[in-house]
Amino acid sequence: AQVHLGMDVCSGGTIFDRLRAGRYTERQVANVLRSVLRMLAQCHSKGVIFMDVKADNFLYLTNDPSSVLKAIDFGLAQRFERGQVYSQRRGTPAYMSPELILQAYDEKCDVWSAGVLAWQLLHGRFPHTEDVVSMGLQEVWQRILKVEPDFGAAQWEGYSDDARDFLRALLQRDPERRPSASSALDHHTVCTQNNTESRSHAQSHQCAERHD
């Protein structure tokens, strides 16, 4: 007997490949977040924590700038039950949430990782450090636990207040106050198809296309 798997040919490279060519615009980041959060909301609705949101784990289907994204590498994903707290550390250290590092987490650790990814795409760095390559594991974790992301005006010059406030919500240290992937999709930063690239506010409205 033989088993044949039919899989998409994703020729557009990863998010990280495109990031190396330059930072993403605010509109592009909104599009990425929309895809990532939809995937996470679907996983969470099925009782699965993805556990490894990062720039390397999302492939563009084609080289087209507006290509759809495909999530890959579910090797670290785990089943979960609502209301349960988990302790086994999994994932890529620089994207780990504080509660995951402290070994008391639930599915909202994925939402933090999505916020880290968005920050990386906007600013070309992680929210807690300029460079994780030269750091040891414990140093990376300590910076995540102790270093607050810079939401000051200078850091966000050229970006909208809405984008800053949305990332502030995704990177909320208290998971009880952090939005779920599903509720985050209702935020107009990712909801609207006409996201602003200026400092002006995007107009708030409900998603025309509802998520699962």
**Residue 14 forms beta bridges with which residues?**
59
Q: What average pLDDT does the segment 182-188 reach? A: 91
When comparing pLDDT for 75 and 193, which is higher? Answer: 75
Computed over every residue of the chain, the mean pLDDT equals: 88
Residue 127 structure tokens:
């929210």
Long-range contacts of the stretch 186-194 (C-beta < 8 A, 24+): 188/162, 189/30, 189/33, 189/160, 189/162, 189/163, 190/30, 190/33, 190/34, 190/37, 190/166, 191/34, 192/30
* Residue of 17, 52, 174, 186 marked catalytic: 52
- Reply yes or no on whether the pLDDT at 196 is more than 80: no
| Mean pLDDT value across residues 17-28 | 90
| pLDDT value, residue 192 | 62
pLDDT at res. 98: 98
Helix, coil or strand: residue 66: coil
186 an active-site residue?
A: no
Average pLDDT of span 57-71: 93
Q: What is the pLDDT, as a whole number, of residue 139?
A: 94
> How many CB atoms are located within 10 Å of the residue 81 CB?
8
What is the structure's pLDDT at 207?
38
Other CB atoms within 10 A of residue 114 CB: 24
Whether residue 205 is predicted with pLDDT greater than 80 in this model: the reply is no
Tell me the two tokens of residue 126. Answer: 């992680």
> pLDDT, tens digit, for every residue of 165-182?
999 999 999 999 999 999
- Residue 110, pLDDT > 90, answer yes
